[in-house]
Amino acid sequence: DTAVSQTPKYLVTQMGNDKSIKCEQNLGHDTMYWYKQDSKKFLKIMFSYNNKELIINETVPNRFSPKSPDKAHLNLHINSLELGDSAVYFCASSQVDRGRYEQYFGPGTRLTVT
Amino acid sequence: GENVEQHPSTLSVQEGDSAVIKCTYSDSASNYFPWYKQELGKGPQLIIDIRSNVGEKKDQRIAVTLNKTAKHFSLHITETQPEDSAVYFCAAGHNTGANSKLTFGKGITLSVRP
């Protein structure tokens, strides 16, 4: 019954590798987001997609490429991983077209780059 | 862009006491102010939110107040319990349809001493 789910929960990889994180929401929402939470717990938006269309792209290196195959899924692919990419990545969703802006977060994916 | 400041950064209270967490924002166009609770190893959970046309909102032991003139909003937790111990984030955003985004404060770690 998880509303927003992410896989994997943990990801450990070496510098230079390419990895993907997947997100799915079963809330019927039209908008999905990727956030990065650094070691100091600071939450910063990276991307948002509305009805599969990229809306927000917050000065994220182009090694990060989101992809939304449908409204319920938003994946994040990261090329040439760097040490500084180590963080917890959260997916979230909301339903903006009905004037409801509450964002619901997934459990996070802890990425460790060695 | 929006800037959200949250203070203090840590707060320790005795079980049963009240806790107040304060946030300020910079963008007068912001009209949506959610609060999130993040427990260790989990994603942020929406606990209460307030919109700019309302000055106060309550939900059982938690309440949020908003002062638009001073651009600050606060979270009040009464009769604190050990399970209230977590990191709390405030956020601000303006709801403009698909372009809506939230800017988060840096979080405050609340410890409730039994």
For the stretch A8-54, pLDDT in tens is 999 999 999 999 999 999 999 999 999 999 999 999 999 999 888 89
Beta-carbon contacts of residue B113 (< 8 Å; ≥ 6 apart): B12, B13, B14, B15
Query: Is the pLDDT higher at A110 or at A60?
Result: A110
Does B102 contact A103 at a Cβ distance shorter than 8 Å?
yes
DSSP secondary structure code for residue A104 in this structure: E
Does A106 contact B49 at a Cβ distance shorter than 8 Å?
no
Whose tokens are 């997947």? That residue is A22
Assess A71–B contact: CB distance below 8 Å, yes or no.
no
Does A56 contact B97 at a Cβ distance shorter than 8 Å?
no
Does A97 contact B97 at a Cβ distance shorter than 8 Å?
yes
CA-only gyration radius of chain B, Å: 14
Task: Please give the pLDDT value at position A1.
Answer: 62
A contact residues 9-38, partner B, Cβ 8 Å cutoff? 31, 33
DSSP secondary structure code for residue A51 in this structure: T
Q: Which of B42, B45, B98 sits opposite A96 (nearest CB)?
A: B98
Share of chain A above pLDDT 70, in %: 96
What is the helix (H) or strand (E) element at residue A64, kind and residue range?
strand A64-70
Round to whole Å and give the CA distance between B27 and B76: 23
Mean pLDDT, residues A48-67 taken together: 90
Assess A48–B contact: CB distance below 8 Å, yes or no.
yes
Does A45 contact B49 at a Cβ distance shorter than 8 Å?
no
Residue A20 and residue A78 in contact, taking contact as beta carbons nearer than 8 Å: yes
Residues in chain A closer than 8 A to B5 (CB atoms): none
Whose tokens are 């601000």? That residue is B92
Task: Please give the pLDDT value at position B53.
Answer: 86
Indicate the burial class of B79 (C-beta count within 10 angstroms; 0-12, 13-18, 19 or more). exposed
Residue A3: pLDDT band with limits 50, 70, 90: very high
Assess A98–B contact: CB distance below 8 Å, yes or no.
no
Indicate the burial class of B50 (C-beta count within 10 angstroms; 0-12, 13-18, 19 or more). buried
Query: Is the pLDDT higher at B46 or at A56?
Result: B46
- Quote the mean pLDDT of chain A: 93
Residue B108 and residue B86 in contact, taking contact as beta carbons nearer than 8 Å: no
Residue A78 and residue A19 in contact, taking contact as beta carbons nearer than 8 Å: yes
The encoded tokens of residue A99 equal 């004037």
Across the A/B interface, how many CB contacts are shorter than 8 Å?
60
Residue A81: pLDDT band with limits 50, 70, 90: very high
